[in-house]
């Protein structure tokens, strides 16, 4: 297991007329080879902003970035936040690749599939057009596109949603990157197609020993593919740990609330879902205290701090399992177990 990606204290702020939007406020994350790390959260949590930062895809003129994003390659490490543009560009598509949510709009409508795949290959490899075409067909076969040589000449609109996502995966993996960032890769797909794509990703990961950073809001998907989980809320990680710990021993009130509010196909019958009251906060002028406080049902049990004004820190509850909450560990454990017992068979 080699360390592929290390994010240290990442902060991403968007200055706007109404004030600074602190989209990501101090995030730490590590990704190793062969491992899948999930970034889970709802809209506005900062997960997509984080994923875009890893490849330096933010507009430097309109975004304020700080912290380090270290990509460890075989020839050294690059800090995406501070390295010159050329160095970051050399990483993209080669060391670190990304696939996005909507495969329909993520492929150029005017160019053939082989054109787009070959382009991705030739940018990092000095080869002939024919060699690049052959490589493209090879990749299409690996991702399971039938009749790859024929379909390579077709255009994106001639493919179905699931096929397009396979094409995106082929394009992302054509240079054998060590890290794959998948931003909601199956959200726009039907559930049976989603199952196909997730299986494909799992197999490819094993074959290429990639590290996958998976961005999603779907806790079902996370349960199936993730090794490590980071739960985000309002730009901060509120809990992180191994996947089993997060689901069977959630330690942060937000995580508990999320797990309780999902209706599950195998859940314990019907009846009221315990919803988290209120709405996600605006990211401008966040209070100094806990961002989840207005919606937290456990805040009344906190005795040693004022959740509204005191900032909770990410604390290690047990080896590798961190949570950001003022409430003491013992109480959180009790509630965490209640949640796990209710939701799961």
Partner 1 sequence: MLKFIGRRTAYALLTLLLVSMATYIIFAILPFDPAALSCGKGCRPNLIEANRIRLGFDKPIWEQYWLFLSGIFVGRNYGMGDAAFSCPAPSFGYSFNENACVTDMLKQALPVTLSLAIGALIIWIIMGVGLGVLAAKMKNTPVDTGATIFVLVGTSLPVFVTGLIFLVFLTIKWNIIPLNLTGYVSIFSNPIQFLIYFILPWLTLAFNFSAIYTRFTRSAVLETASEDYIRTAVAKGLPAKIVLRKHTLRAALSPIVTMAGLDFASLLGGAILTETIYNLPGLGRMSLKAVYEFDLSVVVATTLFAAAIVIFMNLLVDILYAYLDPRVRIS
Partner 2 sequence: MEPLLKVEQIQKHFSTRGNAIFGSNKGVVKAVDGVSFEIAVGETLGLVGESGCGKTTTGRTILRLLEPTSGKITYEDTDITKLSTKAMREFRSKAQIIFQDPYSSLNPRHTVGKIIAAPFEIQNIEPVGGVKSAVQEVMERVGLNPEHYNRYPHEFSGGQRQRIGIARAIALRPKFIVADEPVSALDVSIQAQVINLLDELQSEFQMSYLFIAHDLSVVQHISDRVAVMYLGKIVEIAQTTDLYAAPHHPYTKALLSAVPIPDPKLERSRERIILKGDLPSPINPPPGCVFNTRCWKAQDICLSQAPELLQVGKSSVACHFPE
Angle (nearest 5°) at CA 139 between 137 and 142: 115
Report the side by side order of strands in the sheet with 3-16.
19-32, 3-16, 64-73, 76-79
100 near partner 1, rule: CB under 8 A? yes
Within its chain, how far is the Cα of 70 from the centroid? 17
106 near partner 1, rule: CB under 8 A? yes
Contact 101, 188 (CB under 8 A): yes
Element (H, E) at 282: none
Q: Which of 28, 79, 119, 218 binds partner 1 (CB under 8 A)?
A: 119
- Work out what residue 131 binds among partner 2, partner 1, none; the CB cut-off runs from 5 to 8 Å by kind: none
Choose the stretch contacting partner 1; rule: CB under 8 A; options: 89-97, 188-196, 207-215, 216-224. 89-97
Q: Which of 171, 201, 229, 298 binds partner 1 (CB under 8 A)?
A: 171
92 near partner 1, rule: CB under 8 A? yes
Nearest to 28 by CA among 68, 88, 76: 68
Nearest to 221 by CA among 193, 179, 254: 193
258 near partner 2, rule: CB under 8 A? yes
Closest CB 60 distance from partner 1, rounded Å? 12
Contact flags string 185-204 toward partner 2, x per CB under 8 A? -----xxxxxxx-xx-----
CA distances to 23, 37, 227, 238 from 217, rounded to whole Å, are 16, 13, 16, 15
Binding positions for partner 1, 56-75, rule CB under 8 A: 57
- Work out what residue 335 binds among partner 1, partner 2, none; the CB cut-off runs from 5 to 8 Å by kind: none
243 near partner 2, rule: CB under 8 A? yes
Choose the stretch contacting partner 1; rule: CB under 8 A; options: 1-9, 12-20, 84-92, 194-202. 84-92
Sequence-separated (6 or more) residues with CB below 8 Å from residue 203: none
Rounded Cα gap, residues 287 and 236, in angstroms: 13
- Work out what residue 158 binds among partner 1, partner 2, none; the CB cut-off runs from 5 to 8 Å by kind: partner 1
Backbone angles phi, psi at 22, to 5 degrees: -90, 85
Three-class SS state of 176:
coil
185 near partner 1, rule: CB under 8 A? no
Choose the stretch contacting partner 1; rule: CB under 8 A; options: 6-14, 154-162, 192-200, 316-324. 154-162
Q: Which of 69, 99, 137, 221 binds partner 2 (CB under 8 A)?
A: 221
Q: Which of 11, 14, 79, 123 binds partner 1 (CB under 8 A)?
A: 123
89 near partner 1, rule: CB under 8 A? yes
Rounded Cα gap, residues 305 and 310, in angstroms: 7
160 near partner 2, rule: CB under 8 A? yes
CA distances to 231, 256, 264, 273, 297 from 343, rounded to whole Å, are 18, 10, 8, 10, 18
Report the side by side order of strands in the sheet with 179-183.
96-99, 179-183, 211-216, 36-40, 228-233, 236-242, 321-324, 314-318
55 near partner 1, rule: CB under 8 A? yes
Rounded Cα gap, residues 222 and 229, in angstroms: 8
109 near partner 1, rule: CB under 8 A? yes
105 near partner 1, rule: CB under 8 A? yes
Contact 112, 152 (CB under 8 A): yes
CB nearer to partner 1: give 20 or 119.
Answer: 119
- Work out what residue 89 binds among partner 2, partner 1, none; the CB cut-off runs from 5 to 8 Å by kind: partner 1
Residues that bind partner 2 (CB under 8 A): 42-43, 160-163, 190-196, 198-199, 217-224, 243-244, 247-248, 257-259, 261-267, 270, 272-277, 279-280, 343-345
Residues forming the site for partner 1 (CB under 8 A): 55, 57, 89-94, 97-98, 100, 102, 105-112, 119-120, 123-124, 155, 157-158, 168, 171
């Amino acid at each position: 297991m080699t360390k592929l990606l290390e994010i240290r204290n990442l902060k991403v702020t968007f200055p706007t007329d109404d004030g600074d939007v602190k989209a990501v406020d101090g995030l730490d994350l590590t990704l190793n080879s062969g491992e899948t790390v999930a970034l889970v959260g709802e809209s506005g949590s900062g997960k997509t902003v984080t994923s875009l930062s890893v490849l330096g895809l933010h507009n430097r003129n309109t975004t304020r970035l700080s912290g380090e994003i270290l990509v460890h390659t075989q020839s050294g490490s690059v800090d995406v936040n501070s390295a010159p543009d050329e160095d970051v560009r050399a990483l993209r598509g080669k060391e670190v690749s990304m696939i996005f949510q909507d495969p329909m709009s993520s492929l150029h409508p005017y160019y053939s599939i082989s054109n787009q795949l070959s382009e991705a290959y030739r940018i990092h490899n000095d080869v002939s057009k024919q060699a690049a075409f052959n490589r493209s067909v090879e990749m299409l076969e690996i991702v399971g596109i039938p009749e790859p040589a024929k379909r390579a000449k077709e255009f994106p609109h001639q493919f179905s949603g699931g096929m397009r996502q396979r094409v995106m995966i082929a394009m992302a993996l054509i240079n054998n990157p060590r890290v794959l960032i998948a931003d909601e890769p199956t959200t726009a797909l039907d559930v049976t197609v989603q199952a196909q794509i997730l299986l494909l990703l799992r197999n490819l990961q094993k074959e290429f020993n990639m590290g996958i950073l998976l961005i999603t809001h779907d806790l079902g998907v996370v349960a199936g593919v993730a090794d490590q989980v980071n739960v985000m809320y309002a730009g901060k990680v509120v809990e992180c740990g191994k996947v089993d710990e997060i689901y069977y021993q959630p330690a942060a009130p937000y995580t508990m609330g999320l797990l309780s509010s999902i209706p599950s196909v195998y859940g314990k019958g019907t009846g009221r879902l315990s919803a988290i009251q209120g709405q996600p906060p605006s990211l401008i002028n966040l209070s100094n205290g806990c961002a989840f406080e207005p919606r937290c049902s456990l805040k009344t049990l906190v005795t040693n701090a004022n959740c509204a004004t005191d900032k909770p820190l990410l604390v290690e509850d047990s080896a590798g399992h961190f949570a950001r909450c003022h409430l003491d560990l013992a109480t959180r454990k009790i509630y965490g177990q209640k949640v796990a017992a209710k939701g799961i068979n």
